[in-house]
Amino acid sequence: MPDDLRQRYANALSRSMSPQTGFAEHVDAILAVRDEELETARAAVLEYENTITWFTTCKGCAATLDSAYAETVRAEKAEEALNGAQEALARVTALARSLAATNPEMADLIAETIVNMPGECAPGAALALLDPPPEPR
């Protein structure tokens, strides 16, 4: 048993020792130290498993790969959302052209409606989602 761990057990026992405490309090004190040790060991094992998953022995490299993977997933979701918005916009535009072609008297109204859409509904608003303003530092 490492000296540091032995000392932590001794400190836990000395804090629990008094005429009013019983055996259960002593055991609880030791188990609290053991639980801290187990949690630290679990965290280390998870970190090592992550480096093995990325086929590397460098924990920093594994963290960089985790970050790159998360960014790739985020970018793919954003691209998928943009593609969906572009498809929806194409359908709306096609519908507007179809309506304008079948109802020439409504062509001006349709064009005016598209131009005067609220900002979040305007065709260019979907593209603005890809280029948000920088976050303040």
Report pLDDT digits (tens) over 18-51.
Answer: 666 666 777 787 888 889 999 999 999 998 888 8
Q: Residues 81, 84, 87, CA angle at the centre, nearest 5°?
A: 150
- Number of neighbours of residue 42 by Cβ within 10 angstroms: 10
Residue 68 pLDDT: 92
pTM for this model (two decimals): 0.47
Q: DSSP letter string over 95-115?
A: HHHHHHHH-GGGHHHHHHHHH
**For residues 60 and 54, what is the distance between their CA atoms, to the nearest angstrom?**
11
Asked whether residue 130 carries a pLDDT value surpassing 50, the answer given is no
Which residue bears the tokens 């948000």? 132
Of 80, 93, 81, 83, the residue nearest 122 (C-alpha): 93
What pLDDT does residue 21 have?
63
Highest-confidence segment of 61-75, 87-101, 122-136? 61-75
Helix intervals (H) in the chain: 3-16, 23-53, 59-102, 107-115, 123-128
Q: In whole angstroms, what is the distance from residue 106 CA to residue 122 CA?
A: 19
**Cβ atoms within 10 A of the Cβ of 62, count?**
20
Quick check: 50 and 57 in contact, CB under 8 A? no
Average pLDDT over residues 11-24: 70
Q: 46 and 28 in contact (C-beta within 8 Å)? A: no
